[in-house]
Amino acid sequence: MTTTLDQRLAAVRGIMFDVDGCLVLSDAPSGQGGAAIRGAEAFIEQMRESGRRLCAFTNGTAQHPHDIAAHLRHLGIDIADEEMLTPAVSAARHLVRVYGDAPILAYGGDGVIPVLKDRGVNVIEPADHATGGASGVAAVVVGWDPDFTKSKLQFAAEAILGGAELYCTSDAKAFASQERLNVGVSGFIAAGLSHVTGRAWTVLGKPSAYAFDTVLETLGTTPQQTLVLGDDLYLDAGMALAGGALAGLVLTGLTDRATVEDAGPDETPDLVLESLAELGILVARADERAAAGNHGEVADQLAVEGGRG
């Protein structure tokens, strides 16, 4: 079945929002400080009234997801604690499934260590084995750790050379910001460890399949029922297109229209939007047409097709 954009929008049952550049603009990661982007609050309210399920996914791990959600609510953006996702959440999901209770060496602060531990990961930290070796470590996970030191580098390198897999929560070079360049930390550390050990790293945050699967599990949707919204052509739209979801790119953050026009056909989002308010109009129109019976069976058909995949 060939479907129009209107039909695909009407079929959406769950929406993932990026934070920086999509909901909030700030000069700190994960929307710390800063202000809500105009139209974000109203659009989320509109989507909740439509019955769609929502979640937010930021690639920042400087803060605990619950703290990020609380700050968003303080700015008027209605995201519940359980709807707030970070790479630490998708990392925990993967690590438990693959390594069980094997020891995992993790770097980061409140946005990494407590999140992993709360979700059943057997986390060790360099301080736990300050005088011992790194043998027996199954994996090394690098998150937002601005206090990464030479001793941490030493311990992590020994673990990796001893057979531990190297994971990174996000290797994004920068995040959308108001004025200053908001540089990424996790990818910088992972690249340094790769330089020392000669081993490649695996990303567990956006745009990885691990992150996308975590989004689907949180929303309870199939890819065909999911809309991914963000300001990053690679992290957000790229993840959506690779996973078979509807890809929406807002031009309120990192990406401008000229960059989109230079993208290849396989990299171009389904929707390129000046604002969330513009998207709100499109969704309302699609819902009205669906309610009028123009394509009332599309959502059910897409759900069936998604179940076959």
What is the residue-level pLDDT of the chain in tens, covering all 309 positions?
Answer: 567 999 999 999 999 999 999 999 876 554 466 789 999 999 999 999 999 999 999 998 989 999 999 999 999 999 999 999 999 999 999 999 999 999 999 999 899 999 999 999 999 876 655 445 567 899 999 998 888 888 889 999 999 999 999 999 998 876 555 556 667 788 999 999 999 999 999 999 999 999 999 999 999 999 999 999 999 999 999 999 999 999 999 999 888 899 998 988 888 999 999 999 999 999 999 999 999 985 445 455 555 455 444
- CATH class of segment(s) 5-86+207-308: alpha beta
To which CATH superfamily is domain 87-203 assigned? Answer: HAD superfamily/HAD-like (3.40.50.1000)
**Cβ neighbours around 199 below 10 Å, total:** 17
Which residue spans of the chain are classified as CATH 3.40.50.1000?
5-86+207-308, 87-203
Name the phi and psi angles at 67, rounded to 5.
-70, -35
C-alpha 252/C-alpha 22 separation (Å) is 6
Q: Are 55 and 82 in contact (CB under 8 A)?
A: no
Give the global pTM.
Answer: 0.87
Among residues 141, 145, 139, 140, the alpha carbon closest in space to that of 108 is found at 145
C-alpha 66/C-alpha 203 separation (Å) is 22
What residue ranges in the chain does DSSP mark as E strands? 14-17, 24-25, 35-36, 53-57, 84-85, 104-107, 123-124, 139-142, 165-168, 174-175, 182-183, 202-203, 226-230, 246-250, 271-273
pLDDT at 119: 97
pLDDT at 288: 95
pLDDT at 206: 96
